[in-house]
Amino acid sequence: MKIDEKLQPILDEVIRRNAGEVEFHQAVREVLESLGRVVAKHPSYADNALIERICEPERQIIFRVPWTDDRGQVRINRGFRVQFNSALGPYKGGIRFHPSVNAGIIKFLGFEQTFKNALTGMPIGGGKGGSDFNPRGCSDGEIMRFCQSFMTELHRHIGEYTDVPAGDIGVGGREIGYMFGQYKRLTNRYEAGVLTGKALFYGGSRARREATGYGATYFVQRMLETRGDGFAGKKVIVSGSGNVAIYTMEKVIQFGGVVVACSDSNGYVVDESGVDLDLVKEIKEVRRERISEYARLKGAGSHYIPGGCVWDTPADVAMPSATQNELTGKDARTLIKNGVIAVGEGANMPSTPDAVRLFQEAGVLFAPGKAANAGGVATSALEMQQNASRDSWTFEQTERRLARIMSDIHDQCAGTAEEYGAPGDYVLGANVAGFVRVAEAMNALGVI
């Protein structure tokens, strides 16, 4: 899509000032493409450099993370926290540990997070953090020492009213526990609301672990319902086999869908009779092994394709749930040729711009990550509510809230797309609805 001529200079300036940060450029471009219709209808949104300010993080912190491995060698990683926008509430967004992490990736994630958090309707701003630390192959002791060192710097910048991190790629319940322990030790405060994704027995929320995957599935189910359809009987591909992928598979199966393939960064497994989720959980959550183990343990009917492309598997619905730009234009063409009817992004920006365009041109229902995967952060906000009131809700109560939030986000995106003359365009709907909420708050707070 072409960018409005008033907005093109803003993108040019973002590219100039953030040289080489290609994922950040991609995320900003996608939002600016949608905003042309907004500034045409309400020119005042372009006043006071509001859009320029939205594209500039409020604060960026980069720090050294030294730690000692099991051989006694001192290792150095780089830590990041980008506090993007706090117009709607304390910065909120996950921490990613992956060797690919750099400033541009954290910035793109923080930018996306700002609009996603706005879509939830909850009082949370946007932020993101992480490190280029590779947890794969590390012992439990190494993970703990790394998390402690990371928090030794991060603790100065976060707090329940300032910035509330959570998990993301490479950061699950274990890592959140070690970081919370170090935060408590350094501050001498039992401030449960400073991190979300905690285990139940020290202030976590039921259904938080499941929330992103369940939420994405609720969103796609709602989208399918607009065409009188649903997951029942559908073949579904879920990429990845981490937190988001596992709980996407769980909800898809509960809705009557058949998960035919899932993956990790080394390859993918196909099981036409339906992936055995208990086995995936055992391999990934308990043993922390590779997905190739699935085919070895399951045997007949399943097979593992090393290094292959999970999107080559014929299916009705695709749920990319691993990482950014994992689904390319070529993959989109294959999926369309194989008859895909809906794509729901559990991961952040997993489809390249080319792929999104092809899906939309082919009339495939397409749910962008910033709307479809917002259930995780929404449930994190529910965890903050429970922490603030020293309360703990049941699983059913929390999941009911999640389901309602996802249905509201769906309707908000669909309604906004319709209002701005692009019915069925969930990308435009999500970008515009998220932007308007952040913009209204920023305008009310003055030029800050």
DSSP structure string for 302-360: EEEEET--GGGS--SEEE--S-TT-B-HHHHHHHHHTT--EEE--SSS-B-HHHHHHHH
CB of 245 to ligand NAP, least distance (A): 6
- 11 versus 409: smaller Cβ distance to ligand NAP: 409
Beta 342-344 vs 365-367: how paired, if at all?
A: parallel
- 258 versus 371: smaller Cβ distance to ligand NAP: 371
- Residue 207's nearest CA partner among 365, 353, 397 is 397
- Identify residues 204-223 at the interface with ligand NAP (CB under 6 A): 212
Cβ within 8 Å of residue 88, ≥6 positions away: 117, 118, 123, 124, 125, 437, 438, 441
Set 128, 234, 251, 284: catalytic member = 128
- The residue whose two tokens read 């994630």 is 109
Question: Cβ-count burial of 436 within 10 angstroms (0-12 exposed, 13-18 middle, 19+ buried)?
Answer: middle
Residue 126 as a binder of ligand NAP (CB under 6 A): the answer is no
Question: Residue of minimal CB distance from ligand NAP?
Answer: 242
Residue 323 as a binder of ligand NAP (CB under 6 A): the answer is yes
Coil, strand, or helix at residue 15?
helix
Residue 113 as a binder of ligand NAP (CB under 6 A): the answer is no
- Identify residues 256-275 at the interface with ligand NAP (CB under 6 A): 264-266
Residue 104 as a binder of ligand NAP (CB under 6 A): the answer is no
- Residue 151's nearest CA partner among 173, 126, 180 is 180
Contact range with ligand NAP by CB under 6 A, out of 138-146, 183-191, 242-250, 332-340 = 242-250
Burial 241-260 (b: 16+ CB within 10 A, else e): bbbbbbbbbbbbbebebbbb
Query: Contacting ligand NAP (CB under 6 A), which of 104, 125, 376, 434?
Result: 376
Annotated catalytic, 234? no
Residue 191 as a binder of ligand NAP (CB under 6 A): the answer is no
- 36 versus 110: smaller Cβ distance to ligand NAP: 110
- Residue 199's nearest CA partner among 169, 177, 227, 171 is 177
- 36 versus 130: smaller Cβ distance to ligand NAP: 130
Residue 431 as a binder of ligand NAP (CB under 6 A): the answer is no
- 33 versus 383: smaller Cβ distance to ligand NAP: 383
The token duo for 145 is 């020492």
Is 167 known to sit in a ligand binding site? yes
Is 139 known to sit in a ligand binding site? no
- Identify residues 348-367 at the interface with ligand NAP (CB under 6 A): 348
| Interacting residues toward ligand NAP by CB under 6 A | 94, 167-170, 212, 240-245, 264-266, 321-323, 326, 346-348, 373, 376
Q: Which residues are annotated as a binding site for NAD(+)?
A: 212, 243
